[in-house]
């Protein structure tokens, strides 16, 4: 329900003219009482969606998905990777890497320590099919699936000639 507001406009010449306006709905009045920062603040629903998407997507993918699903970042037309990263930092959301490490994925150094080998050998074992790398998004810091006990035994049983560099052949 709208109410009316009466404004008495005083002109420089001295005339006073009353004007009647309908007042805006209550939700508009509430918005007028917010500061500029509060109006630009990321809605809680958007932060929850970003937190949910971080389980399986990188920052660029999240920005694209938010834009596709109709989420709006405030005054700007569309989300960017940088905006999503800033929101993650401001709201102290765990990064995708932190979440994957918590789920049991291993770094290259951890795999090497587990298998009692040098780190460069992890890549060789990966290329030979003995290890599985987890898909990462734009990061050179790869994560690996934890090998099973059976796979650890198989890797330990690989002959040393296949483990290291091939022997030099002199002719």
State the DSSP code for 59: H
3-state SS class at 1: coil
Q: pTM for the whole thing? A: 0.63
- State the pLDDT at residue 171: 53
Contact 126, 144 (CB under 8 A): yes
Q: Which residues contact 138 (CB under 8 A, 6 or more apart)?
A: 58, 60
Is the pLDDT assigned to residue 4 strictly greater than 70?
no
- State the pLDDT at residue 148: 86
- State the pLDDT at residue 16: 75
How far apart CA 76 and CA 66 sit, in angstroms, is 13
Is the pLDDT assigned to residue 62 strictly greater than 80?
yes
Q: What is the mean pLDDT of the chain?
A: 79
β-pairing, 16-22 with 4-10? Answer: antiparallel
**pLDDT per residue as tens digits for the range 120-153:** 888 888 888 888 887 765 556 788 888 888 888 8
Fold of the domain built from segment(s) 103-163: Arc Repressor Mutant, subunit A (1.10.10)
Contact 40, 32 (CB under 8 A): no
Assign 32 a pLDDT band (cuts: 50, 70, 90): low
Is the pLDDT assigned to residue 118 strictly greater than 70?
yes
Tell me where in the chain the CATH 1.10.10 domain(s) lie: 103-163
Assign 84 a pLDDT band (cuts: 50, 70, 90): very high
- State the pLDDT at residue 14: 73
């Amino acid at each position: 329900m709208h109410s009316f507001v009466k404004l008495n406009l005083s002109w420089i010449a001295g005339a006073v003219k009353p004007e009647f306006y309908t007042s805006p709905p209550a939700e508009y009045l509430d918005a007028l009482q917010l500061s500029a920062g509060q109006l630009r603040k990321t809605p809680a629903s958007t932060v929850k969606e970003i937190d949910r998407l971080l389980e399986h997507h990188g920052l660029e993918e999240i920005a694209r998905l938010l834009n596709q699903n109709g989420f709006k970042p405030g005054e700007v037309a569309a989300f960017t990777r940088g905006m999503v990263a800033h929101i993650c930092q401001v709201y102290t959301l765990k990064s995708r890497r932190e979440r994957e490490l918590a789920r049991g994925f291993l770094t290259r150094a951890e795999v090497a320590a587990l298998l009692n080998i040098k780190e460069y050998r992890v890549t060789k074992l990966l290329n030979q099919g003995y290890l599985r790398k987890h898909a990462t998004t734009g990061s050179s810091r790869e994560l690996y699936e934890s090998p099973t006990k059976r796979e650890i035994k198989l890797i330990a049983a690989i002959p040393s000639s296949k483990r290291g560099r091939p022997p030099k052949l002199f002719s």
